[in-house]
Amino acid sequence: MIFKYKTNPPLNPMSVKKGDQCPTFTLKNSAGEAISISNYIGKKKLVIYFYPKDNTYGCTKQACSFRDSYVDFVETGAEVFGISSDSVDSHKAFARSNNLSFQLLSDPKGKVRKQFGVPSDLFGLIPGRVTYIVDKKGVIQGVFNSQLDPKKHSSEALRVLKSLE
């Protein structure tokens, strides 16, 4: 029997998908402030991306690609949020060392990750890397799932955002 490794594992059947309403949540940012996503719905488009861990090779590449395109996201009327289970202090150091211009949110117990149904990769050992693109009405307009191509998350998110204009 031959097993093939999939670069894009299927999303959990309970996952949030295109056409679903974005789940609402409140998490702390790298400054320790409570950020409620419901305060942005109706005002801005959103890019919410889940990533495994601060200061790792792939996650740093992903964060820096969002940073490098941040002006493009702002021009489409979108706000970007990165979410992992790392602590507020870890996010603060990660954002500072990489000069990140968007907010990182701390989900220490993985509650929001579960709320979105973000799958784990590598036999459940690595938290998944999934990006959700949300329109101003709070409807998911795109989902991109790729553990192995972290830089592509920002370009895919921009592609979807531009298609909404």
Q: Which residues are catalytic?
A: 59
Find, among 102, 103, 165, the residue nearest to 136 by Cα.
Answer: 165
3-state secondary structure of 81: strand
Task: List b or e across 131-150, with b for residues whose CB sees 16 or more CB atoms inside 10 angstroms.
Answer: bbbbbeebebbbbbbbbebb
Find, among 160, 164, 151, the residue nearest to 65 by Cα.
Answer: 151
In the DSSP assignment, the letter for residue 97 is: H
82 forms beta bridges with 49, 104
